[in-house]
Structure 1
């Protein structure tokens, strides 16, 4: 990872931001979230946060869902031209603070087994592997890829 870049202020995402998320999502993933995925998340009351660059607009975002005493990280994405600058970690730190303020005991996520870069970021942030979900993610050529389930305790 390169030296930490400028810190961007974290702000909340709303339905009005969906159009700015779709190009980042489509560039980042082989099976990106759709407009419907984002819309459903916002209308369901999930929390979503972003980092904005004054010139580029939204450059990183995440969506989290509270389930009883656990926060589930559903999506965290950094625009490709801003990767390697510590922005995912900055968003994760915000999620950790949000979880603590909300009384959450832990944060759960799934990550593709092939996403070694993300796994490393999560491990460095204190997440540990707690299991696997077989054939969880769609993959190329109508196949499926396993997910690693990771958790970070807040205590």
Structure 2
């Protein structure tokens, strides 16, 4: 599968495809307005293409030597094939090459599949944000993760 994978900066023209994935993957998806705000910034939203179709994306900001993964999603039909891991590794390499010293992310404590990928790639839990995410029944904690990057 990885031979036909391409990761490139997304553009505002990708909004519909990205939001279709966001709606399928997130229990509380971002609004179009939030996604457009990030798409209008250069090299913040990255799309993952598989045989020329957008099947995933990630949103990463970089400020003052630190990067933060704000959102990542792989279309459900393509999950379980290592594409999320491949996308995240690409982003880690990119932000390290840009001189960032660390990358942060937050993840729902119930998202065991994502946590396994993050830990496999070297992220370590550094904290908890209690009752951070809206959930079907109340709120859910966010686990805060960080990876120190070798620059």
TM-score range, shorter chain: over 0.9
Displacement after TM superposition at 1:44 (Å): 4.4
- Provide the residue aligned with 2:45 in structure 1: 48
Deviations 1:53-112 (A, max 9, x none): 236x21011000112111000011000000011101111111111111210000000000
- Provide the residue aligned with 1:125 in structure 2: 121
**88 and 119 in structure 1: CA distance in 2 versus 1, 3 angstrom threshold:** same
Q: Distance in 1 between matches of 2:90 and 2:2?
A: 15
Task: Give the structure-2-normalised TM-score.
Answer: 0.93
SS, match of residue 31 in structure 1: coil
- Provide the residue aligned with 2:136 in structure 1: 140
Give the RMSD, CA atoms, in angstroms: 1.3
Moved over 2 A (4+): 42-46
Instruction: State the aligned residue count.
Output: 149
Q: Distance in 2 between matches of 1:65 and 1:6?
A: 25
- Provide the residue aligned with 1:68 in structure 2: 64
Q: Identify which of 22, 29, 34 aligns with 2:31.
A: 34
More divergent stretch after superposition (104-113 vs 87-96): 87-96
- Provide the residue aligned with 1:150 in structure 2: 145
Structure 2 residue 95 is matched with structure 1 residue 99: yes
Structure 2 residue 23 is matched with structure 1 residue 17: no
Deviations 1:25-62 (A, max 9, x none): 1111110111111111123446111111236x210110
Task: Give the structure-1-normalised TM-score.
Answer: 0.91
Q: Distance in 2 between matches of 1:119 and 1:72?
A: 16
> Does the 8 Å contact 1:46/1:66 carry over to 2?
no
Unmatched 5+ residue regions in structure 1?
none
